A and B are shown apart, each in its own frame.
Chain A
Amino acid sequence: MRKRLVSMLLAGCMVVSLCGCGKTAAGDTATDTTSTDSGTEEAATEEAAAVPGEVFGDTVQYDPNVPINNGEDIKIDFWEWGSDELFQQIVDGYTAIHPNVQIELVNNPWEDYWTKLPLALDGKDGPAIFNIHNSYHQNIVNYCAPYDIPTEDLEKDFNGVAAHVIDGNVYYIDYGIMTGSVYYNKDMWEAAGLTDADIPKTWDDMIAVAKKLTIKDGDNIVQAGWSFNDNVNSNYLMGVNYQLGQNLFDTDNKTCVVDNDATKKVFQMLIDAYDKEGVGSKDFGTSATDSFGQGQAAMAIAWGWFNNTLQSDYPDINYGVFEIPTFDGDPYAYNRYNGESTFGINKNADEKQQAVAQDIVKYFLANDELQVKFNLAMNTFPAKTSLADNEEILSNKAMAAIADHIDKYIWPGPVPATVEDSLKIAAENVFYNDMSIDEALKTAQDTINNDLKSKNFEAVESLYKYAK
Chain B
Amino acid sequence: MFKKQHALQSKSEIALRNIVVSGTLIFYLIFLIVPIGIALVGSFHEWNPLDGTYRFLGLENYINIMKSGDFWNSIWNTILFSVVVIFFRVGLGFLCAYAIFSSLIKFKGFYRAIYYMPVVTPMIAVAYVWKFIYHPQIGLLNHLLGTHVNWLMNANTALIAIMAMTIWKDFGYAVVMFMAGLYSLPEDAMEAAKVDGCTGVQLLRYVTLPLLKPMTLFVVVTSIINYLQAYVQVMVMTEGGPGKATYLSSYIIYNEAFVKYNFGYASAMAFILFVVTAVLTVISFRVSADKV
Chain A residues near B (Cβ < 8 Å): 114-115, 118-119, 122, 138-139, 142, 220, 282-286, 294, 296, 416-418, 421, 424-425, 428-429, 431-433, 435, 451, 454
Given A428-B243, A433-B155, the answer on whether A286 and B136 have CB atoms closer than 8 Å is: yes
Report which of A284, A418, A428 forms a contact with B136, defined as CB distance below 8 A: A284
Q: Find out whether the CB atom of B245 lies under 8 angstroms from the CB atom of A417.
A: no
How long is the Cα–Cα vector from A282 to B136 in the complex, in angstroms?
10
Q: Find out whether the CB atom of B154 lies under 8 angstroms from the CB atom of A432.
A: yes
Interface centre among B49, B51, B259 (most CB of A within 10 A): B51
How long is the Cα–Cα vector from A349 to B255 in the complex, in angstroms?
32
Q: Find out whether the CB atom of A283 lies under 8 angstroms from the CB atom of B136.
A: yes
Interfacial residues of chain B within 239-260, with CB under 8 A of chain A in the complex: 240-245, 255, 258-260
Chain A residues whose CB sits within 8 angstroms of the CB of B269 once the complex forms: none
Which 4 A-B pairs rank lowest in CB-CB distance, beginning with the nearest?
A432-B242, A283-B150, A139-B50, A429-B243
Given A115-B50, A139-B50, A283-B150, the answer on whether A428 and B137 have CB atoms closer than 8 Å is: no
Given A282-B150, A282-B153, A418-B260, the answer on whether A432 and B51 have CB atoms closer than 8 Å is: no
Report which of A119, A122, A417, A432 forms a contact with B241, defined as CB distance below 8 A: A432
B185-227 near A? 1/0 per residue, CB < 8 Å: 0000000000000000000000000000000000000000000
Q: Find out whether the CB atom of B48 lies under 8 angstroms from the CB atom of A220.
A: no
**Beyond known contacts A286-B136, A431-B242: 8 more, CB 8 A cutoff:** A286-B152, A286-B153, A425-B241, A428-B243, A432-B153, A432-B155, A433-B245, A454-B46
Given A139-B48, A139-B50, A432-B155, the answer on whether A285 and B241 have CB atoms closer than 8 Å is: no
How long is the Cα–Cα vector from A109 to B265 in the complex, in angstroms?
27
Given A220-B148, A425-B241, A454-B46, the answer on whether A285 and B260 have CB atoms closer than 8 Å is: no
How long is the Cα–Cα vector from A114 to B154 in the complex, in angstroms?
33
In terms of DSSP, what is the predominant structure of the interface of chain A? helix
**B135 adjacent to chain A (CB < 8 Å):** yes
Q: Find out whether the CB atom of A142 lies under 8 angstroms from the CB atom of B243.
A: no
Q: What is the chain B residue whose CB lies nearest that of A426?
A: B243
**B37 adjacent to chain A (CB < 8 Å):** no
Shortest CB-to-CB span from B32 to chain A, Å, is 20
Chain A residues whose CB sits within 8 angstroms of the CB of B150 once the complex forms: 282-283, 286, 432
Shortest CB-to-CB span from B129 to chain A, Å, is 15
Chain B residues whose CB sits within 8 angstroms of the CB of A122 once the complex forms: 52
Chain B residues whose CB sits within 8 angstroms of the CB of A429 once the complex forms: 242-243
Shortest CB-to-CB span from A137 to chain B, Å, is 10
Report which of A138, A283, A296, A425 forms a contact with B243, defined as CB distance below 8 A: A425
Report which of B48, B137, B153 forms a contact with A296, defined as CB distance below 8 A: B137
Given A286-B153, A418-B260, the answer on whether A139 and B51 have CB atoms closer than 8 Å is: yes
Shortest CB-to-CB span from B35 to chain A, Å, is 15
Report which of B53, B135, B243 forms a contact with A435, defined as CB distance below 8 A: B243
Q: What is the chain B residue whose CB lies nearest that of A425?
A: B243
Q: Find out whether the CB atom of B51 lies under 8 angstroms from the CB atom of A283.
A: no
**B82 adjacent to chain A (CB < 8 Å):** no
Q: Find out whether the CB atom of A451 lies under 8 angstroms from the CB atom of B260.
A: yes
Chain B residues whose CB sits within 8 angstroms of the CB of A428 once the complex forms: 153, 241-243
